[in-house]
């Protein structure tokens, strides 16, 4: 990311505007604060983690290029999501067979909803998530291990279980809900613990 930004400092946009270093620092600060949600937004459109991360990189470069156009009185997330969304739409349309592009009203609504998603510092969430996975029954653990650590498809895991894909989808939904509740509880407990020791 740093290398890309330095390259763009010499871009036409960079040359035509005298941009103080503070501006770049400010951009990096804002990007760092919102990168998680931007990636999340991209994932909600493209539904593939690698694609979402690649697009986030590309979109970040464009955001930097257009940073002078950003109005600091507006939400950075809303502005950045607008740029990210264009990249995502272009990405999907570039795949000729891919007709699954959300309408713009739905994307607007998703952008609004993004603001309400809690984002605790990533390391704390991941630590909580690890603990919550450890607390799962072995069977549910095996679903996650097969899919995320071994790269198995949902279909193959459903087949191993001997159930239909749709039933497995419902199982995964319940498992995800349970993990989310567990992570939220752990983070909340940790926050209270920290506050009480202050």
Partner 1 sequence: MEPRSDHHRHSLIEAALAGQLSDADHEALEEALRTSPEFRREYLEAMQLHLELDLLSRQSEFPANPQHASSRPATTTGDLSRLPWRFVAIMAAAAIVLVAVLFSGGLRTQPADAPDVVNPDLAQVSPPTPPAPVAPPAPVPPAPPRVVDVAGAKIFGEGLSPRPGQEIEFQREYVLTHGLLAIGFETGARAVFRAPSVFSVTDPETVQLRSGQCSVHAPEGAEGFQVISPEAKVVDIGTRFVVDVATTGETELFVVEGAAEVTRSELPPQSAVLLKEGQSARIEPGSMELAPAQSLDGQSFLDALPDRVVRYEASTVADGKAEELLSVFVQREGRIREYPRDLLIPCRLKHFIGPTNFATFCTPQGQELPVGIERLRMLESDWSLATGILNPHPTDYPDHADEMLPVMALEFVRPIVNGPGPDILIFDLQILTDKPEGDTVRVRPGRAGAETEIFTFNTWDIDLTSPFALDLVPHKTYRALSATTSLEDLIHNEFRHGAQVHVNAKCLVMGIDLSDMGYAPGESLTHLEFVGRQTFDPVAIVGLPELKAQP
Binds partner 1 (CB under 8 A): choice among 124, 133, 159, 190: 133
H helix runs in the chain, sequence order: 2-9, 12-16, 21-46, 49-65, 76-94, 104-114, 122-134, 138-144, 154-161, 165-197
Task: Specify the DSSP class assigned to residue 11.
Answer: S
122 burial type by CB count under 10 A (0-12 exposed, 13-18 middle, 19+ buried): exposed
Binds partner 1 (CB under 8 A): choice among 170, 188, 189, 191: 170
Under the binding rule (CB under 8 A), the answer on residue 173 touching partner 1 is yes
Residues 29 and 83 sit within 8 Å (Cβ to Cβ): no
Instruction: Give residues 30-89 in contact with partner 1 (rule: CB under 8 A).
Output: 39-40, 43-44, 47-49, 52
Under the binding rule (CB under 8 A), the answer on residue 105 touching partner 1 is yes
Measure Cα distances from 106 to 7, 13, 46, 83 in Å.
35, 32, 14, 16
Under the binding rule (CB under 8 A), the answer on residue 156 touching partner 1 is no
Q: Which window, 71-79, 88-96, 119-127, 186-194, contacts partner 1 (CB under 8 A)?
A: 119-127
- Interface residue list for partner 1 (CB under 8 A): 39-40, 43-44, 47-49, 52, 99-100, 102-103, 105-106, 109-110, 113-114, 116-117, 122, 125-126, 129-131, 133-139, 141, 144-145, 148-149, 153-155, 163-174, 176, 179-180, 183
């Amino acid at each position: 990311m740093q290398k890309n930004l330095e390259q763009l400092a010499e871009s036409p946009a960079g040359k035509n505007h005298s941009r103080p270093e503070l501006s770049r620092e400010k951009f990096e600060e804002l990007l760092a604060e919102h990168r998680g949600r931007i990636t999340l937004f991209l994932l909600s459109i493209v539904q593939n983690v690698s694609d979402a991360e690649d697009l986030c990189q590309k979109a970040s470069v464009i955001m930097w290029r257009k940073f002078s156009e950003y109005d600091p009185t507006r939400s950075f997330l809303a502005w950045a999501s607008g740029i990210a969304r264009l990249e995502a739409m272009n990405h999907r349309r570039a795949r000729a067979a891919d007709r699954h592009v959300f309408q713009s009203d739905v994307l607007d609504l998703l952008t609004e909803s993004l603001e309400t998603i809690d984002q605790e510092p990533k390391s704390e969430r991941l630590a909580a998530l690890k603990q919550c996975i450890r607390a799962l029954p072995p069977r549910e653990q095996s679903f996650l291990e097969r899919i995320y650590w071994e790269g198995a498809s949902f279909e193959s895991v459903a087949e191993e279980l001997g159930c239909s894909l749709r039933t497995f989808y419902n199982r995964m939904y319940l498992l995800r809900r349970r993990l989310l509740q567990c992570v939220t509880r752990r983070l909340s407990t940790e926050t209270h613990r920290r506050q009480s020791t202050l």
